[in-house]
Amino acid sequence: MSAVLKPLPAATPAGVARALAAEFGVRAAAHDRDGSFPHQNFAELQQAGLLALAAPRALGGQGASVAQLAEVIGAIGQGCPATALVLTMQYIQQRGMGRPGSPWPEALARQLVHEAVHEVSLVNALRVEPELGSPARGGLPATVARRTQDGWRISGHKVYSTGAPILRWYVVWARTDEEAPRTGAFLVRAGLPGIRIEDTWDHLGLRASGSHDVILQDVLVPHGHALDLRPPQDWARGEPAMQAEMAVMLAALYTGVARAARDWLVRFLRERTPASLGAPLATLPRAQEALGRIEGLLLTNHRLVASLAQDLDAGTLVPAADSGLAKTVATNNAIEAVQAALQLTSNHGLARRNPLERHLRDVLCGRVHTPQDDSAHVAAGRRALGL
């Protein structure tokens, strides 16, 4: 493992992230080929002081702004989007710890932040289930938390648990076994008796994200680890602040993937010199025009992410319909940019020896994250109709 120095005080988080991402990008192809988890990336992120970047200063974190977090996620996404996705989930949980009215007990929040500062310690929400699908589309989870004298006993099956090989903490979405069930989150330490990880993640894109299944069988957690329990209908109003922050970071992540594709395309156009042309492809007006359109898509995303982050940092409440549209527009722009690069490069772009086909597989994953296109468009359409 190459030595990684702690950043100098004057170094910006984004600058540190860009330096790390260059190394991550070198390793990304190998992790993609064999679906291995990039543990070294997270060791280097921790050494560089980026694992507690989003945590409030009052809890021992760095209290970074949403704009700073977007810059870091975008930079890491350009090098290794799987790493950026796991890091995004860490940041989302840390931002939630400092939000007004946060359900996190201070002692627990402070413990998780302290661990992230001094060790490789990550947390993510485990919400999706085989039968339920995404909780954002409604329905009670099949995962059950049973209250006992000793604590909560939790049993369930979670899928798409991003970062499973490295997570130290799970925020498990479950329902209680009460006569009138409540739903909410329980903090569970990874590795407790009754927990096992099934290596099920074998997807087209983001193959290094380790989004495996996590099985919980009668796992005991303290009573104080029930973070936020409510009647199911109370969750229908959503969490606009969290949704908007997630939209910013996901938009930044997939824009980073598109930037990586754009950078490879520029090199290809400059270097590729067909015998029939006698000059680099970069000299063709058609190539220049297509690249210009890609630049327009990336500029749109950059401005969109920056504007949304600025609103959030100013304390402006961003409606869920707006953040949903922003996420949808940005991810589809990123997809369009990578597909346009592929159209220019033909078989070269699809060759496994080149990274463009990996960028295409990775960027397509942007469509899967909540809110998906149909949900975002329905919400915006209903609002426009006054429904």
> Which two structure tokens, joined as six digits, stand for 154?
């939790």
- List Cα–Cα distances, 162 to 82, 124, 170, 207, in angstroms: 9, 7, 10, 11
Residue 181 has pLDDT above 70, yes or no: yes
Give the model's confidence band at 235: pLDDT under 50 very low, under 70 low, under 90 confident, else very high.
confident
- The answer to whether residues 88 and 73 touch, using CB atoms and an 8 Å cutoff, is yes
Would you state the pLDDT for residue 134?
58
Q: What is the pLDDT of residues 339-352, one digit of tens each?
A: 999 999 989 999 99
Give dist(CA 158, CA 379) in Å, integer: 27
Would you state the pLDDT for residue 131?
85
> Which two structure tokens, joined as six digits, stand for 8?
């100098």
> Which two structure tokens, joined as six digits, stand for 338?
């990578």
CATH topology of domain 125-233: Butyryl-CoA Dehydrogenase, subunit A; domain 2 (2.40.110)
Helix H, strand E, coil C: the string for 324-387 is HHHHHHHHHHHHHHHHHHHHHHCHHHHCCCCCHHHHHHHHHHHHCCCCCHHHHHHHHHHHHHCC
Helix%, strand%, coil% for the chain, nearest 5: 55, 15, 30
Instruction: Taking residues 166-170, report their average pLDDT.
Output: 98
Who wins on pLDDT, 330 or 131? 330
pTM, two decimals, is: 0.94
Q: What is the pLDDT of residues 258-272, one digit of tens each?
A: 999 999 999 999 999
How many helices (DSSP H) and strands (DSSP E) are in the chain?
Answer: 11, 8
Who wins on pLDDT, 110 or 1? 110
State the virtual CA torsion across 85, 201, 258, 28 in degrees, nearest 10: 90
Within 13 Å of residue 385, how many CA atoms lie on the same side as its CB? Answer: 7
Give the model's confidence band at 133: pLDDT under 50 very low, under 70 low, under 90 confident, else very high.
low
Percent of the chain residues past pLDDT 70, beyond the cut: 96
The strand pair at 169-176 and 123-126 is best described as parallel
Would you state the pLDDT for residue 136?
59
* DSSP H or E run through 158: strand 152-161
Query: ∠ CA(329), CA(203), CA(131), 5° rounding?
Result: 85
Instruction: Taking residues 130-148, report their average pLDDT.
Output: 81
- The answer to whether residues 359 and 259 touch, using CB atoms and an 8 Å cutoff, is no
Who wins on pLDDT, 63 or 6? 63
Would you state the pLDDT for residue 138?
60
- 13-121 to CATH, choices 1.10.150.120, 3.40.1360.10, 1.10.540.10, 3.40.50.10860: 1.10.540.10
Residue 10 has pLDDT above 50, yes or no: no
The strand pair at 123-126 and 212-221 is best described as unpaired
Where does the chain hold its CATH 1.10.540.10 domain(s)?
A: 13-121
Percent of the chain residues past pLDDT 90, beyond the cut: 91
Please tell me the least confidently modeled range out of 46-50, 130-134, 147-151, 184-188: 130-134
Check if CATH label 1.20.140.10 holds for domain 238-385.
yes
Q: Is the peptide bond before 371 cis (omega within 30 degrees of 0)?
A: yes
CB count within 10 Å of CB 342 equals 18
Residue 94 has pLDDT above 90, yes or no: yes
Q: What is the pLDDT of residues 360-384, one digit of tens each?
A: 999 999 999 999 999 999 999 999 9
Would you state the pLDDT for residue 132?
75
Give the model's confidence band at 4: pLDDT under 50 very low, under 70 low, under 90 confident, else very high.
very low
Where does the chain hold its CATH 2.40.110.10 domain(s)?
A: 125-233
Give dist(CA 79, CA 216) in Å, integer: 33
> Which two structure tokens, joined as six digits, stand for 254?
């997939």
Residue 319 has pLDDT above 50, yes or no: yes
Q: What is the pLDDT of residues 269-307, one digit of tens each?
A: 999 999 899 999 999 999 999 999 999 999 999 999 999
Where does the chain hold its CATH 1.20.140.10 domain(s)?
A: 238-385
Residue 83 has pLDDT above 70, yes or no: yes
Residue 9 has pLDDT above 60, yes or no: no
Q: What are the two backbone dihedrals, phi and then psi, of residue 249, each rounded to the nearest 5 degrees? A: -70, -40
